[in-house]
Amino acid sequence: MRVLGIETSCDETGIALYDTQHGLLADALYSQVAVHAEYGGVVPELASRDHIRKTLPLIDKVLADAQCNKSDIDAVAYTAGPGLVGALMVGATLARSLAKGLGVPSLGVHHMEGHLLAPMLADDPPAYPFVALLVSGGHSQLVRVNGLGMYTLLGESLDDAAGEAFDKTAKLLNLPYPGGPHVAKLAESGDPERFIFPRPMVKHPGLDLSFSGLKTHTLTTVRQCVAETGLTEQDKADIACAFERAVVDTLVIKCRRALKQEGLKTLVMAGGVSANKRLRESLAAKLGPEGIAVHYPSLRLCTDNGAMIAYAGALRLAAGERDGADAEVRARWPMTELSAPEVA
């Protein structure tokens, strides 16, 4: 079965064609970063309009790259939520119209389930059950995964998501949007000894996370530097370094705790922040010697993409799931509302 995947939940148009026998045939991504950069964040209306412009040409490109045509598509999967409602509606409307025109089924996919399953597209996919660390711009969650749709929420951020904290810190340091990769780059030239930021929530029992205090800590440190000598490039790098280390150490501690609590030896990380080099390296270096296998998606499948939607959709479509006449998009959609397909 060949499934076309359409991702339009935020500021990236992602399209992919996944074949349940031969794997990923082709994928393409268009990032709207340039559209939103001057506003310092995503402008929902501009995002919807840009998805309208880009989705069809990208579908044509993916089909051409895969040397297929529209009649080779057996089903269409699209992101149905959570995300920006206008942006979601563009992808959903297009996907469902295309499916109707081709006489094939369509299926709305949960964006975070897409992220969660992206590491399955790697050469050495993890086996169930495992603990998943989902860290994106809108979510930070630790989830026990027993199988497709069998998710137990173990802990989550009580305030800012990890990616959101990176983005807000970037703003405080006058770095461009989206901030995560810029903070990470700058942190490489920072002095790790100069500022030591707190590791939030690690002394609290349990698996919840909190990142908004770190943002406040960043703000206070920026103000201190401004008052002393003005904010220099080295100050910015030292702050980025302290911030990144605090986030990474906190996530490592919480992942270790989650694995211990659940008695599991496999950790899967996914979502935009899982592209963070220090996080990838620290989890592998610190948990590896403890007998934990750490899996993450390839870099280009960490952030939003069409392949993860095509893949998650393919699994559920293969189990017989289809959109009903009442299919709709959802800005908010807790992942724990998902269930396993009836025929697995």
What are the residues binding Zn ion (CB under 5 A)? 136, 304
Shortest reach from residue 304's CB to ligand KG4, in Å: 4
Q: Which of 167, 105, 110 is nearest to 136 (CA)?
A: 167
Shortest reach from residue 141's CB to Zn ion, in Å: 12
Shortest reach from residue 134's CB to Zn ion, in Å: 9
Judged by CB under 6 A, the stretch of 19-27, 69-77, 131-139, 212-220 that binds ligand KG4 is 131-139
151 binds, among ligand KG4, Zn ion, none (CB under 5 to 8 A by kind): none
Q: Which of 266, 15, 282, 229 is nearest to 127 (CA)?
A: 266
Whose Cβ is closer to ligand KG4: residue 82's or residue 105's?
82
Determine the Cα–Cα distance for residues 79 and 108; give it in Å rounded to an integer. 6
- Any contact of residue 178 with ligand KG4 (CB under 6 A)? yes
- Any contact of residue 140 with ligand KG4 (CB under 6 A)? no
* CA-to-CA separations, 283 to 24, 94, 140, 164, 258, in angstroms, rounded: 27, 39, 16, 20, 13
- Any contact of residue 7 with ligand KG4 (CB under 6 A)? no
- Any contact of residue 166 with ligand KG4 (CB under 6 A)? yes
166 binds, among ligand KG4, Zn ion, none (CB under 5 to 8 A by kind): ligand KG4
178 binds, among ligand KG4, Zn ion, none (CB under 5 to 8 A by kind): ligand KG4
DSSP string, 295-319: E---GGGTSS-HHHHHHHHHHHHHT
Please give, one letter per residue, the 3-state secondary structure of 32-45: CHHHHHCCCCCCHH
Q: Which of 55, 56, 58, 51 is nearest to 27 (CA)?
A: 58
- Any contact of residue 160 with ligand KG4 (CB under 6 A)? no
* List 240, 275, 312, 317, residue binding ligand KG4 (CB under 6 A): 275
* List 273, 309, 310, 338, residue binding ligand KG4 (CB under 6 A): 273
Whose Cβ is closer to Zn ion: residue 7's or residue 323's?
7
Residue 47 zone, left/alpha/beta (φ > 0; ψ -120 to 50; rest): alpha
DSSP string, 167-192: HHHHHHTTPPSSHHHHHHHHHTTS-T
Determine the Cα–Cα distance for residues 323 and 333; give it in Å rounded to an integer. 16
- Any contact of residue 313 with ligand KG4 (CB under 6 A)? no
Q: State the first-to-last Cα distance of the chain, in angstroms, to the nearest integer.
A: 16
Which parts of this chain interact with ligand KG4 (CB under 6 A)? 10, 115, 136-138, 163, 166-167, 178-181, 184, 271-273, 275-276, 303-304
